[in-house]
Amino acid sequence: MKIKHLAILGLSIVVAFAACKKKDNTTPVVTPTEGSMKIQFNYVFGSNLLPWELGKTLDHPKTGDKLTFTTFKFYVSNIKLKKNDGTWWEEPNSYHLVCAMCPDQSDIDIKNIPPGDYVEMQYTMGVDSIKNVSGAQTGALDPSYGMFWSWNTGYIMLKAEGSSPNSSDGAFSFHLGGFKGQYNVVTKKATDFAGHTLTIDGSKNRVINLQANPARLWHNSPSVSVTSKIHMPGETAYNMATAFYDNIGFIGME
């Protein structure tokens, strides 16, 4: 009887050991986590796509002006991503002030993006009309950044300043905005990533590269010898801003 009991006990131990061993070999299921991405602007100048940066003097290929930029800022807002199943994710409170060559504002960092495969991005160049008339704002829309006129004329969507010997006073200053009527400069943009897929899974910070060409400000506008300053909404502000916005495009992802 004792031998029988020992045999049964031994068999139970073997079965339990086998069960534990089988459980330990099971591959755990990994659940994708939220991720992040950076929108990075790559600046070029003119039809030859010359390298552009603040403080560098360049000849405009169309107007012939010599231009040295000291300030270049613009707003990007309402960023949305489309999944391959057709659903959309929208960044909360999506307002960003991009400042060329500023250490903390040269790129756009977007966090807490749900995992998935994204096939399209939509965004707005400028600030939507609701925020222009909603009173004092915080964050990127804080008036302390010097990008706000008044509750009537709203935000400066794009600011470009610098020097030029072609200007009558040796300088240029373009504060471009307008959010209503026929001279509304706010421009909606979209890219399908040239057929590529943006995969967000929390394993790395993805990078979307967009190309921006400050020379396009003068694509439909005259030399700084004719117009060197714009500080209010209107036709000239509209022509400059939208020419620049229209040329911004996707060039790759990392």
pLDDT, one tens digit per residue, over 155-174 is: 999 999 999 999 999 999 99
What confidence tier does 104 reach under pLDDT thresholds 50, 70, 90? confident
| CA distances to 5, 140, 145, 154 from 127, in Å | 81, 11, 14, 9
What confidence tier does 102 reach under pLDDT thresholds 50, 70, 90? confident
pTM (2 decimals)? 0.86
Give the lowest-confidence range in 37-41, 54-58, 103-107.
103-107
Question: How far is it, in rounded angstroms, from Cα 158 to Cα 242?
Answer: 10
* Mean pLDDT of the region 17-43: 71
In this prediction, residue 108 carries a pLDDT of 97
Report the run of H or E that residue 199 belongs to, with start and end.
strand 198-200
> Between these two residues, 226 and 7, which has the higher pLDDT value?
226
DSSP 228: -
- Return the closest-CA partner of residue 167 out of 235, 58, 241, 67: 67
| Number of domains observed in the structure of the chain | 1
229 located within any domain: yes
183 located within any domain: yes
Mean pLDDT of all residues belonging to the chain: 90
127 located within any domain: yes
* C-beta separation of 156 from 64 below 8 A: no
Supply the range of the domain harboring residue 129: 35-253
96 located within any domain: yes
| CA distances to 194, 228, 246 from 237, in Å | 31, 12, 14
What confidence tier does 29 reach under pLDDT thresholds 50, 70, 90? low
What confidence tier does 13 reach under pLDDT thresholds 50, 70, 90? very low
30 located within any domain: no
1 located within any domain: no
Neighbouring CB atoms inside 10 A of 167's CB total 21
DSSP 61: T
24 located within any domain: no
In this prediction, residue 27 carries a pLDDT of 58
11 located within any domain: no
